[in-house]
Structure 1
Amino acid sequence: MGDIEARSLGTRKGVSFKAAKIDVLGCDVDLLVVGMFERDGINRPTGGANQIDRALHGTLGRLREGRIFKGTMGETLILSSTPAPIKANSLMLIGMGDDPGALPHSIGELTANAMQTALRMGARSTACLLTWSERELPSNLVELTAEMMMKGVLRAVEGHDGHDRQPEMEWFFDIRNGDAARMADALERALGKPSG
């Protein structure tokens, strides 16, 4: 899955949650979820979106320039099949808005959206890179961001109407930004908390 071994966080309603440093191009999953900010200092994709953009010869930058996908908060774009060298079967881009400081407060809705999409698609494996940008998460926001991500995906899982069929999925959270160990610990704690 990446440079570090995936850490199992636990399971909820058929979804097995793991934390890992995810190889954007090399991860072989049904759905790869990547966040893209609306703009930055040079108006280019950053983090995981930057790797995708380079692999696709500047396509994400051109989508932004053409105002097709600008990265506004909650905006989504799905490629149902991906070109080489991306190994994931499908790619979901999610707009992260223009204020990285707002991420801890919006990340729950963004991850809920990603999980709802994965469940509708019947994805068996999903890699979520919404927090990976070139900007480190401030130390005081690591736990809050992780908790909000987990709450978002759990809300989607709990609300899923699978016609009495529980989903079976591996969901990987990328934990490279900020303190990876603290983020994984916070994700695990949030998963263990009762819903509500």
Structure 2
Amino acid sequence: MRLEAKDIGFRYGDGPWLFQGVNLTIEPGEIVGITGTSGRGKTTFCRILAGYESPIEGAVYFNGAKLPKNEYHCVQMVLQHPEKAINPRWKMHKILNEGYQPDKELLDLLGIEQEWLTRWPHELSGGELQRFCVARALGPNTRFLIADEMTTMLDANTQAQIWHAIIEIAKKRDMGIVVVTHEFKLMQRLCHRVIDFNRK
């Protein structure tokens, strides 16, 4: 059930390669950190891993089969800015149930209050919205979660609660996680190994 990126290369049009020949294997239950300076292609690589973007070279495989693009599948991604991933015209209960219907245990673990479900996105804080994005990504079929600077903009208490919930769920499901962050202490605390994109 591993997630494999083989010989991944990407560039925009005829421009210079953002990266080439990137190989990464993530095992179930493993937490892998990705770090590097801005502009090195970390987010683009994660979008490829999640099937949101097609590589110019190489391919991504789950359990030996190519990962489908733009489908709700076993690899889910949570972005840094939750407001960009949420339809502002939908109330939170519709947003939450878009892919599947989370159980109350998950909502409680993430600190999502029942009264928030009837609100519009603009009525919630960034931290509250991010909790919904995480809940939506943790569907029953999710085997790998990609967190791209997911908690960077949040206060320390919210960060801690969200990561506590994710790690608890990951342990129960044997779920793999990719953590993109500039926070060295967070990577030290969470990750089994770290990939430095400055060297790609």
TM normalised by structure 1 equals: 0.38
TM normalised by structure 2 equals: 0.38
Q: Which has the larger radius of gyration?
A: 2
